[in-house]
Amino acid sequence: MKSSYTYVADAWKKPKQKLGALLKQRITTWRKQETVVRSERPTRIDRARALGYKAKHGYVIARVKIGKGGRRRIKYGRRGRKPPSMGLTHFTHGKSLQWIAEEKAGRRFKNLEVLNSYYVGEDGQYKFFEVILVDSSNPEIKADRKINWIANNKNRVLRGQTSTGKKSRGI
């Protein structure tokens, strides 16, 4: 007998087939929202639980939208040149889009620490990630032996200490 999390995980293996209309409707509403939005509950409960989320005080879920595509440089005063010749295009970020999403959430919620993040969808212009944040000053978090280590780690995401940051740094 399978658990309910297994069925949720199976649905997210092929989201366009299994969640097509629902996901399309959600992404349409997410696209109109701000860049970082606090969410009531995780969209992918199986993935959130696997990455350390628990449904208790001190845990926060934030959905972040990130523009897809490469980085553009600022145009400078070379007139009459095509953008590729000016050195404006074909630059990539030194980080993954997921790491950038974690940093945006960390900067938006300054009093919380980023625990982890996961992918929830994309359209032609944006990718959407949900970031799990933890309030290290919350008494329930301090009392929990499995998560109270996060109180000693400040600005984990900015130092590349999350799993995505470590992967981007090649660790």
Q: What is the pLDDT of residues 70-92, one digit of tens each?
A: 777 777 666 677 777 777 777 77
Residues across the chain:
171
CATH of 34-169, one of 3.20.20.80, 3.20.20.70, 3.80.30.20, 3.40.1120.10: 3.40.1120.10
Task: Tell me how far apart the alpha carbons of residues 49 and 43 are, in angstroms, rounded to a whole number.
Answer: 11
For 98, counting Cβ atoms within 10 Å of its Cβ (0-12 exposed, 13-18 middle, 19+ buried), the class is buried
Q: What does each C-alpha distance from 104 to 26, 80, 125 come to in angstroms?
A: 21, 36, 18
Question: With bands split at pLDDT 50, 70 and 90, how would you rate the model's confidence at 30?
Answer: very high
Predicted confidence at residue 16, as pLDDT, reads 84
Pairwise CA distance, residues 157 & 168, whole Å: 12
What does the pLDDT read at residue 78? 62
Neighbours of 103 (CB within 10 A): 21
Output the pLDDT for position 77: 67
Return the SS3 of 15. Answer: helix
Average pLDDT on 146-160 reads 88
Q: What is the pLDDT of residue 168?
A: 87
Whose tokens are 């934030």? That residue is 62
Which range among 16-30, 63-77, 132-146 shows the weakest confidence by mean pLDDT?
Answer: 63-77
- Average pLDDT over the chain reads 89
What does the pLDDT read at residue 170?
A: 86
Q: Could you state, in order of their start, the residue ranges of all structural domains in the chain? A: 34-169
CA 9 to chain centre: 18
User: Cβ(125)–Cβ(68) under 8 Å?
Assistant: yes
